[in-house]
Amino acid sequence: MDKTLLKGLRVLETLAASPQPMGVTTLSRALDLTKSNAHRTLQTLVAAGYARSNPETATYECTLKLFEVASAVVSRLDVRQIADPYLQQLAHATHESIHLSVLDGLDVIYLNKIESPQPVRAYSAIGGRAPAHCVASGKALLAWQSDDMLATLPDDLAQWTPHTLDTLEALLADLAETRRRGFSINCGEWRDSVGGAAAPVFDAHGLPVAALGISGPLERLSLGTLHQHGPVVIRTARELSRALGYRGDAYPDSAAA
């Protein structure tokens, strides 16, 4: 192990986490380093462009180079590739069909799926579409869209079953409830006999980039059962979001991992 490199990374991480610039004395105490050691490490970071010094206050802070490096990593994150173990985890916990979905206009597209081991299951296909306003994954994504985006939705929505939320007023009320509890619910709103629950997945910028959810026949996934599965759906979506760099607080505390 390269102890010098490790020491430099610890100094960089401490500077990045500090709400204000740090002096050599404060930093050396925080990391249990000698002042000379801390000063030498800081000078190396300055020379490399990761930190800058303020001669008037004798303090140091990170530069935007750290952000540039992190942004390059974040831009390469592929939600579908990273999501696979989390889909497996949710499948193991619920024994239902698992979907990873993204929003495309007013539809959702299924990026990935794990079939339920149960003999009776909900039908869907990778690459398939569903109307966002009446499936759990779609409502999970719509719930965290901007007001401007939601304003583009029509007042009258297509009705697929007697349970479809076919007015914008009803949908907005449902989305508000989704944000409150952290997950959405569909009880026969697109297919009479199919229900599901889903939670949003956020990227490092706090944007809802996907939804992770479960689906199955309503004879097995009653409203009560969907509420029981809700916390594990949220926890799994939160873990996936963290893997994508999300550090926000959109998920309710009651479903903390």
Distance of CA 101 to the CA centre of its chain: 12
pLDDT value, residue 257? 44
Domains of the chain, earliest start first: 3-73 (1.10.10.10), 77-255 (3.30.450.40)
Q: What b/e readout covers 60-83, taking b as 16+ CB neighbours within 10 angstroms? A: bebeeebeeeeeeeeeeeebeeeb
pLDDT value, residue 195? 92
Contacts of 9 (CB under 8 A, 6+ apart): none
pLDDT value, residue 255? 53
Q: What b/e readout covers 44-58, taking b as 16+ CB neighbours within 10 angstroms? A: ebeeeebbbbeeeee
In which residue ranges of the chain is pLDDT below 70? 71-77, 118-124, 254-257
Q: Rounded distance, CA 109 to CA 248, Å?
A: 25
pLDDT value, residue 183? 96
Q: Are 247 and 205 in contact (CB under 8 A)?
A: no
pLDDT value, residue 204? 87
Q: Are strands 22-23 and 59-62 parallel, antiparallel or unpaired?
A: antiparallel
